[in-house]
């Protein structure tokens, strides 16, 4: 799939993350939703009080929809008095305020500001004074008429003691009801028993971004505004992510959280995903020069941004910034390369991280796709078993990527050279995708390797040791494809691996209890690197982990055969050192790397990292003294000569160095 190339540039202007203001041209296809909700609100036959919940995840367009509804209510479409009531609207952002007093005061103040904007206080001054004189405000402070003459309501509230506040609320509610009646009817009541005529007018309060409140405050907001939700003539429209609201309420109401919301909200509107056509007018509005390209590739873009307008705008912003940075640095990069890199950046974060670690992986993936195309040319299906991948000698860490046809198409079209790819990777660190943490939740797709995969090593002869002696292993066995990672070892810790004696040998158990060990050495600073090999583990810890996993540590003969194959290669990738195929001192990294970083350094059986990265424990003794165990494979801190397959290291089983890890083995009859 190719992106049509044009001699144009993306607009440098950044698209605001705020809701769309030009609601006539940009509505994400919300027209039908807007008419439905606005019609529901304006219909004089729908009784009040009424609460409408508009639910959807962050960035899904709730605010844009609510703004569109508010704008529509003031349009000529709803002026027929035979069908519609007059709607006065207030926009209230409850997340800006801390406690109940502030929330209540701020809501009242927003309503008064709306009244003032209509010149209500000027034109109905005599009516307001009449209302004020009827109030018994002796049990509270000051002249309550200050509220309607510009005084900050929060100042009045702050002057009151708790009991006075209760009295104020009781008195003020009566005053507010009468004031609201006067505002909506534009006349005073004839008698106190006269009830609001919500067929004539209603006050619509839009409460935006309720889910932006800290969770304890969400409950306060709902309980505070509930004081107004039972007033005839009032309609509330609440915009929020429903799951966040329910989680916030569960602390107080438990399983009754849903029931609490059901009592408040009479109408629920769950905002659906915006369709492809819903984005087309938006694309034309923000990026007319690239309308054709963007619309043609919406099937790739929208899954990447989860049909979320906020993430879509950030996607466009990233490309715009990256293109401008390239232009300012006088580096020519095709738009299609920026486009495909951003798709990978958003949709396939595990691949993005692997490419950052090793850009050569892209070429390796493209080669694998080319090999697999030979098969699909025969049956026209993109479905492959592990056996097919193994037959084609495809790296284990590629399996998940290559099973996803959409990603395969992106990789095929991403015909970028190594230098340009490195430029894109560098700029992606400068121009972050900046997806909100709430948007990130659940966004990682399971295309990554399975770190506990094992590969079968067949019985038979192989060349062993420095002298390449003939040696035979009489049985088939399995070997871990990767060294044990921090994320795998964390499961061992979390499931009580250091507390359950059954996993430990007698010597290991004695050492663990005497030394008081509960974690690997360096664990605090290393556990945040989930795909890196675990280090700082003694022989006994490695042995206990293997027992917990239903495996064992390999012998050094097993390890060497898995590393160099039956032909006895000097390095896992045949002969001749190559710093691009392993993590050693020559790489200049000076630390561990993710275990999938070097697919081109795999052994003949498909094992990763059997040269460099970390030394690996084996179950074999180094010599007849039986006081030291054999380590194999070399590490990031050693040079090329120490990474050869035949090299034997030795150390006391209590050693817990920062360059020492392990992998496991298993015989077939276990």
Q: What are the pLDDT digits (tens) for 466-484?
A: 999 999 999 999 999 999 9
Residue 374 resides in a domain: yes
* Whether residues 265 and 305 fall in one domain: no
User: Where is pLDDT greater, at 484 or 528?
Assistant: 484
Residue 151 resides in a domain: yes
Q: What is the pLDDT of residue 431?
A: 59
SS3 269: strand
* Whether residues 502 and 566 fall in one domain: yes
Q: What is the pLDDT of residue 473?
A: 96
Quick check: 313 and 15 in contact, CB under 8 A? Answer: yes
Position 449 confidence tier, pLDDT thresholds 50, 70, 90: low
* Whether residues 496 and 398 fall in one domain: no
End position of a domain, from candidates 440, 474, 503: 440
**Average pLDDT for the chain:** 80
CA distance 587 to 97: 54
Could you read off the pLDDT of 414-435 as tens digits, one per residue?
999 998 998 888 876 665 544 4
User: Where is pLDDT greater, at 143 or 289?
Assistant: 289
* Whether residues 261 and 312 fall in one domain: no
* Whether residues 104 and 60 fall in one domain: yes
Q: What is the pLDDT of residue 287?
A: 62
Quick check: 26 and 213 in contact, CB under 8 A? Answer: no
Q: How far lies 563's CA from each of 338, 543, 559, 605, in Å?
A: 39, 20, 6, 8
Residue 31 resides in a domain: no
Domain count, the chain: 3
Q: What is the pLDDT of residue 426?
A: 82
SS3 407: helix
* Whether residues 572 and 598 fall in one domain: yes
Residue matched to tokens 């002796």: 138
Q: What is the pLDDT of residue 423?
A: 86
Residue 29 resides in a domain: no
* Whether residues 156 and 227 fall in one domain: yes
Residue 13 resides in a domain: no
* Whether residues 481 and 625 fall in one domain: yes
Position 511 confidence tier, pLDDT thresholds 50, 70, 90: very high
Position 162 confidence tier, pLDDT thresholds 50, 70, 90: very low
Q: What is the pLDDT of residue 22?
A: 43
Residue 375 resides in a domain: yes
Q: What is the pLDDT of residue 333?
A: 85
CA distance 645 to 612: 10
CA distance 163 to 166: 5
User: Where is pLDDT greater, at 569 or 33?
Assistant: 569
End position of a domain, from candidates 378, 406, 440: 440
* Whether residues 126 and 222 fall in one domain: yes
Could you read off the pLDDT of 334-349 as tens digits, one per residue?
888 888 888 888 888 8
Q: What is the pLDDT of residue 303?
A: 75
Position 617 confidence tier, pLDDT thresholds 50, 70, 90: very high
DSSP character string of 333-372: --HHHHHHHHHHHHH-HHHHHHHHH-THHHHHHHHHHHHH
Q: What is the pLDDT of residue 192?
A: 58
* Whether residues 266 and 365 fall in one domain: no
Mean pLDDT of 45-53: 89
- Which of the listed ranges 39-48, 183-192, 303-312 does the model predict with the highest average pLDDT? 39-48
Q: What is the pLDDT of residue 164?
A: 44
User: Where is pLDDT greater, at 156 or 344?
Assistant: 344
| CATH (domain of 501) | 3.90.1580.10
Residue 162 resides in a domain: yes
User: Where is pLDDT greater, at 14 or 284?
Assistant: 284
Domain housing 252: 51-270
Which two structure tokens, joined as six digits, stand for 402?
A: 């290559």
* Whether residues 55 and 187 fall in one domain: yes
Position 189 confidence tier, pLDDT thresholds 50, 70, 90: low
Residue 216 resides in a domain: yes
Q: What is the pLDDT of residue 499?
A: 94
DSSP character string of 64-98: HHHHHHHHHHTSGGG--TTTB-EEEEEEE-GGG--
* Whether residues 353 and 423 fall in one domain: yes
Percentage, residues of the chain above pLDDT 90: 36
- List 86's β-bridge partners, or say none: 201
- Taking only Cα atoms into account, the Rg of the chain, rounded to an integer number of angstroms, comes to 34
Could you read off the pLDDT of 222-264 as tens digits, one per residue?
776 676 667 788 888 988 887 777 777 777 777 777 777 777 8
Q: What is the pLDDT of residue 127?
A: 58
Question: Range with the lowest mean pLDDT among 83-97, 156-170, 418-432?
Answer: 156-170
Q: What is the pLDDT of residue 638?
A: 94
Mean pLDDT of 649-656: 95
Q: What is the pLDDT of residue 144?
A: 44
Mean pLDDT of 67-94: 88
Q: What is the pLDDT of residue 167?
A: 46
Percentage, residues of the chain above pLDDT 70: 76
SS3 629: strand
In this structure, are strands 460-464 and 469-473 parallel, antiparallel, or unpaired? antiparallel
End position of a domain, from candidates 407, 440, 473: 440
């Amino acid at each position: 799939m190719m992106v049509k190339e044009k001699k144009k540039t993306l607009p440098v202007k950044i698209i605001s993350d705020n809701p769309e203001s030009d609601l006539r041209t940009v509505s994400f296809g919300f027209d039908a939703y807007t008419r439905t909700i606005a019609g529901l609100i304006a219909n004089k036959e729908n009784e009040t009080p009424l609460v409408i919940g508009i639910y959807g995840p962050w960035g899904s367009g709730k605010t844009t929809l609510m703004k569109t509804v508010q704008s529509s209510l003031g349009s000529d479409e709803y002026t027929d008095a035979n069908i519609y009531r007059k709607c006065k609207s207030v926009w209230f952002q409850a997340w800006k305020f801390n406690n109940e007093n502030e929330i209540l005061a701020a809501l009242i103040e927003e309503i008064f500001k709306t009244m003032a904007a209509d010149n209500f206080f000027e034109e109905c001054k005599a009516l307001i004074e009449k209302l004020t004189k009827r109030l018994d405000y002796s049990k509270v402070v000051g002249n309550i008429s200050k509220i309607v003459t510009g005084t900050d309501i929060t100042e009045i509230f702050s002057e009151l003691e708790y009991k006075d506040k209760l009295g104020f609320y009781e008195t003020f509610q009566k005053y507010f009801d009468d004031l609201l009646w006067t505002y909506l009817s534009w006349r005073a009541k004839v008698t106190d028993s006269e009830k609001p005529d919500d067929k004539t007018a209603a006050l619509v309060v839009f409460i935006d971004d309720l889910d932006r409140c800290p969770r304890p405050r969400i409950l306060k907001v709902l309980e505070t505004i509930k004081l107004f939700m039972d007033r005839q003539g009032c309609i509330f429209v609440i915009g929020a992510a429903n799951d966040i609201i329910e989680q916030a309420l569960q602390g107080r109401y438990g399983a009754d959280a849903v029931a609490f919301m059901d009592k408040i909200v009479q109408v629920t509107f769950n905002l659906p995903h915006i369709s492809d056509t819903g984005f087309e007018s938006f694309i034309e509005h923000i990026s007319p020069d690239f309308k054709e390209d963007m619309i043609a590739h919406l099937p790739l873009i929208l899954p990447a941004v989860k049909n979320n307008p906020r993430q879509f705008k950030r996607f466009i912003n990233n490309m715009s910034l990256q293109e401008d940075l390239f232009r300012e640095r006088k580096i020519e990069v095709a738009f299609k390369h920026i486009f495909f890199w951003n798709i990978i950046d958003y949709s396939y974060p595990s691949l993005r991280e692997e490419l950052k670690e090793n850009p050569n992986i892209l070429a390796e993936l493209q080669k694998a796709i080319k090999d697999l195309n030979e098969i699909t040319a025969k049956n026209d299906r993109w479905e492959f078993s592990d056996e097919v991948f193994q037959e084609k000698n495809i790296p284990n860490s590629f399996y998940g990527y290559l099973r996803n046809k959409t990603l395969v198409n992106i990789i095929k079209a991403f015909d970028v050279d190594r230098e340009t790819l490195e430029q894109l990777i560098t700029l992606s660190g400068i121009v972050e995708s900046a997806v909100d943490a709430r948007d990130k939740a659940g966004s990682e797709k399971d295309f990554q390797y399975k770190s506990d995969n094992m590969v079968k090593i067949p019985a038979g002869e192989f060349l062993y040791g420095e002298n390449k002696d003939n040696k035979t292993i009489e049985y088939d066995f399995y070997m871990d494809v990767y060294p044990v990672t921090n994320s795998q070892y964390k499961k061992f810790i979390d499931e009580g691996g250091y507390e359950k004696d059954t996993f430990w040998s007698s010597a290991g158990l004695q050492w663990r209890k005497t030394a008081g060990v509960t974690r690997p050495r360096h664990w605090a600073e290393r556990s945040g690197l989930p795909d890196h090999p675990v280090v700082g583990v003694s022989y006994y810890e490695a042995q206990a982990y293997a027992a917990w996993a239903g495996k064992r540590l390999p012998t050094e003969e097993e390890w060497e055969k898995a590393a160099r194959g039956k032909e006895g290669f000097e390095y896992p990738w045949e002969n001749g050192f190559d710093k691009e195929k392993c993590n050693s001192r020559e790489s200049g990294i000076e630390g561990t790397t993710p275990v999938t970083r070097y697919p081109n350094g795999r052994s003949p059986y498909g094992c990763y990292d059997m040269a460099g990265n970390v030394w690996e424990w084996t179950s074999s003794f180094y010599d007849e003294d039986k006081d030291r165990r054999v380590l194999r494979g070399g590490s990031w801190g050693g040079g090329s000569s120490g990474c050869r397959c035949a090299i034997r290291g030795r150390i006391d089983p209590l050693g817990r160095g920062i360059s020492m890890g392990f992998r496991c083995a298993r015989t077939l009859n276990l």
